[in-house]
Structure 1
Amino acid sequence: MKDRIFFPLAFLVAAGMVLLALSPGFGRLPEGPVTGDGRDYSRITVEDAYLNKVIAGGDATSRLENGPDGHRQLYIEVAAGALSDAPEYGPHFRLAGDLEVQFSGFTVRCTVRARPADERGAMQMELNYSAGRVGESGWQEFDLMPGFQDYSFEYNVPVAEGEQGVDYFAIRPVVPDKSRALIVESVTFERLGRWTN
């Protein structure tokens, strides 16, 4: 085989092998804990495909849906009596170690942009920031309005003690009977001032 044919053919085969090795990652949705990736930790927003990082937990249903603007939204549905009180046993985001360190000892404003689902829409939503063994915000309840609205609360994240724990941010509809669902457009964490000395 002549060099002018062999080398371009070898290059095409090598390029094809590289693309084949990378192909499992193409089109995959982000998974795992929410992280700041070493950027500015004053504001971390989880939106669009990154909402896929939610963990359904318990008997909840969660899935990404396409919104009217082409961005993905998070659908969460829960049946009455299906979840325990612990935030990590229902729909939640796990916060990576970098956020736990950056939020430790700071006041964090947690904002969820949400609305009731079109079918079996929830009238209320509960949010909870859990810092594991050192404490949690408790369930913060909000009345949902038609259309997307921002719902916020501030939490003084306890100072981490000993080995690093796991922080969670839980979102769930209030379910008086049967099942209820809500749609989440984004979740934002804003690191405010230090509340400890």
Structure 2
Amino acid sequence: MKDKFFFPLALLVAAAMVGVAILPGVGRLPSGAVTGDGKDYSEITLSGVYLNKIVAGGDATTRLIDGPGGRKQLYLEVEAGTLDDAPELGPHFRLAADIEVQFSGYTIRCTVRARPADTHGALQMQANYSAGRVGDSGWQVFDLQPDFADFSFDYDVPLAEGDQGVDYFAIRPVVPEKSRAMIVTEVKFERLGRWAE
């Protein structure tokens, strides 16, 4: 085969192989631990398709739904008596080791923008920042409003001890009976001042 045919054909075959390798990832929703990717850690926001990074845990139902303008929202539904009290055993976001290092010894403001779902709407939600074996914020309870509202609390993240691990941020509806559901449009972490060295 002559060079004028061989090289263009080889380039076409190589491009096709790269395209086939990339194809499985096209259109895939983000998953896995929340990371800062080495950027500015003063504020980390999860919204839109990045809310898909939630881990359902237990018997909770989590899924992305379409909100106004096609923007993705997180739907959370839980049945009464199905979740353990541990934050990582219910709906939660895993916070990667880089966030654990960057948040260690800092006061973090955790904000969830949420409202009750249209069906089986929760009246209250709970949130908990867990630093694993070194402690957690405890469950913070908020009264949901009919429309989306921001619910925040501050937590002094303990100094990391030993090997790096992962922190967790758990959110769930309060379920007094049957099942309750809520919708979340945004979860935000703001690194405030250092409280410990």
- Give the TM-score range, shorter chain: over 0.9
Q: TM-score, normalised by structure 1?
A: 0.96
Distance in 1 between residues matched to 2:100 and 2:11, nearest whole Å: 46
Distance in 2 between residues matched to 1:35 and 1:56, nearest whole Å: 18
> What is the match of residue 111 of structure 2?
111
Give the residue type in structure 1 aligned to 2:12. L
Matches within 5 A, 1:91-170: 91-170=91-170
Give the residue type in structure 2 aligned to 1:186. E
Per-residue CA distance 1:105-136 (angstroms, 9 max, x = gap)? 10000000111111111110000000011110
Distance in 2 between residues matched to 1:171 and 1:179, nearest whole Å: 15
> What is the match of residue 85 of structure 2?
85
Distance in 1 between residues matched to 2:20 and 2:163, nearest whole Å: 41
> Percent identity among equivalent residues?
72
**1:2 CA displacement:** 5.3
Structure 1 residues not aligned, in runs of 5+ = none
How many pairs are equivalent? Answer: 197
Give the residue type in structure 1 aligned to 2:108. V
Distance in 2 between residues matched to 1:68 and 1:5, nearest whole Å: 52
Distance in 1 between residues matched to 2:69 and 2:185, nearest whole Å: 11
Contact kept in structure 1, 2:115 and 2:148, CA below 8 Å:
yes
Distance in 2 between residues matched to 1:2 and 1:136, nearest whole Å: 69
The answer to which of 128-137 and 13-22 deviates more is 13-22
Aligned residue for 1:24, secondary structure, equals: helix
**1:161 CA displacement:** 1.4
Distance in 1 between residues matched to 2:5 and 2:82, nearest whole Å: 65
**1:3 CA displacement:** 4.6
Distance in 2 between residues matched to 1:146 and 1:12, nearest whole Å: 56
RMSD: 1.2
Structure 2 residues not aligned, in runs of 5+ = none
Q: TM-score, normalised by structure 2?
A: 0.96
Give the residue type in structure 1 aligned to 2:168. Y
Distance in 2 between residues matched to 1:5 and 1:116, nearest whole Å: 64
> What is the match of residue 173 of structure 1?
173
Matches within 5 A, 1:24-43: 24-43=24-43
Contact kept in structure 1, 2:128 and 2:169, CA below 8 Å:
yes
